[in-house]
Chains A and B, each alone.
Chain A
């Protein structure tokens, strides 16, 4: 039965793990390299500062880039406070009883809902029912709902990871529960919360289906002038150019260029998160 010695087995499995790890890294490298090579002809600062021309097939990506940034700001403004506060409620006030289990099932199920369903929800709730129309705010709110469960579960985990002894120390000094949360729980949990926030923002930044249904435009000659106007956004721009223009279907560099800017945006957010996290880890560590 046992044809391999224990040390040979050890080597075999270790090699396997290493290969799997390498595969993951390789995938990222290949994606970035592929996008870079494809987009080389258009990569320049002008690409970022000029609006699309020639029915999207030429020119830059200023309009969709700005649209995506606006969306992120709206998601940030709504998903973070609501998400973090509900996480505080779930972790600190719900305890560990049946209610808490019910909530965690709700949250993890929300995280698994397909994004097109969020799109339909946004269409019904914000565009039609709330009368916001197809607009930046309707799309931003839809993406915020989509981001919410990610923020909530990350924040909740970060909060629950704080040793109870620190809470007790604060309460024993006569601090109220809210003071304890505000001065200890939230600051110590911040690195973990931040990770969740960035993950959620990255996910929201790349979504196409929800914004397609709630306000993203195929082409706009100008920037959105208010939160109630339509907008262009990077993921939809990639999709639109790739499928709706002759140039795009023949592998236009604009497609790759827009995709790599989106990618860099997400990677950039992750880098910021890492730096802030490191700073905080140095300040508060236990």
Chain B
């Protein structure tokens, strides 16, 4: 339940600038959607929030991202600690090729929880939170790859919750799923937003309109408009935003 304050964020890949002077304050809790045409920097933006861009050698980040007042890019900040407090769910379900149990128990274990009973509790709690428990409770030792795509994605959500984060980032979590699985994930997002600060990138404007409390529109690496979802979709202030949401722009 942390707020995220982004100050003048610039990101480059080699000498190509992917984000240009982004300023944005995401309040705690609730769902914030990021929309915009392909290549506008949505993924780059949310990957800056948990410093996943650090693993791309050509990537350079400048600016500040304050979570609860602390700069994630400040000197002496431990990247693994940053990521430990921020969960992330990716576009394609990417469970580990291990058992369902192992998928959830992995992170708590590497962060120091050894006790079997405790781990079991964490696994159950996370799977319940991700609305997957009833479907998998009898086969926790089976491979995560035996699950359907939608179940795998909910497993990945449960895994992201296993580190007990305050913020959870979703990068187009439904783009590889069918409508029914998508609806389940959307219900789940509603459940999570009271306890977590949720940021979700989506290509699907209806999805943003359905689930998000606030929506941000990015275009060519710049934040064009950010506001309440209803306001942004019904009375956009910027012409670019209007063109995009009315479908006059890719």
List A residues at the B interface (Cβ < 8 Å).
95, 97, 163, 165-176, 179, 183-184, 188, 283-286
Contact = CB atoms under 8 A, between A and B. Distances in A.
B111 to A, nearest CB: 7
Given A179-B110, A284-B98, A285-B97, A173 B52 contact: no
B92 A171 contact: no
B94 A175 contact: no
Interface of B: 50, 52, 55, 57, 80-85, 87-88, 90, 92, 94-98, 106-107, 110-111, 143, 145, 156, 159-160, 162-163
A174 B159 CA distance: 12
A167 B94 CA distance: 10
Contacts of A169: 90, 94-96, 156, 159
Contacts of A172: 50, 52, 83, 87-88, 90, 160
Nearest to B108: A173
B110 A183 contact: yes
Nearest to B143: A285
A167 B52 CA distance: 11
6 contacts: A168-B90, A169-B95, A169-B159, A172-B50, A173-B159, A175-B110
B97 A284 contact: yes
Contacts of A175: 80, 107, 110
A51 to B, nearest CB: 49
A165 B52 CA distance: 12
A-B pairs, top 5 by smallest CB distance, nearest first, are A174-B84, A173-B107, A165-B94, A174-B83, A172-B88
B83 A286 contact: no
Given A168-B90, A168-B94, A173-B83, 10 more contacts: A97-B57, A166-B94, A167-B55, A169-B90, A172-B87, A172-B88, A173-B107, A173-B163, A174-B83, A183-B106
Given A176-B80, A285-B143, A286-B145, A168 B111 contact: no
Given A174-B163, A285-B143, A286-B145, A163 B83 contact: no
A284 B110 CA distance: 19
Nearest to A284: B97
Contacts of A170: 96, 106
A95 B57 contact: yes
Contacts of B160: 172-173
Contacts of B88: 172
Contacts of A174: 80-85, 107, 110-111, 163
Secondary structure type dominating chain A contacts = helix
A184 B96 contact: yes
A163 B94 contact: yes
Nearest to A173: B107
A104 B95 CA distance: 31
B83 A171 contact: yes
Nearest to A169: B94
A286 B90 CA distance: 16
Contacts of B145: 285-286
Nearest to B95: A169
Contacts of A283: 98
Contacts of B80: 174-176
Contacts of B159: 169, 173
Contacts of B52: 168, 171-172
Contacts of B87: 172
Given A183-B110, A286-B145, A171 B55 contact: yes
A177 to B, nearest CB: 8
Contacts of A188: 97
Contacts of A284: 97-98
Contacts of B96: 166, 169-170, 184
A121 to B, nearest CB: 35
Contacts of B82: 174
A163 B145 CA distance: 14
Contact of B84 (A95, A167, A168, A173): A173
Nearest to A97: B57
A256 B193 CA distance: 75
Contact of A168 (B55, B57, B85): B55
A179 B82 CA distance: 16
Nearest to B89: A172
A135 B163 CA distance: 54
B94 A173 contact: no
B107 A165 contact: no
Nearest to B54: A171
A41 to B, nearest CB: 51
Contacts of B90: 165, 168-169, 172
Nearest to A182: B110
Nearest to A177: B55
Nearest to B55: A171
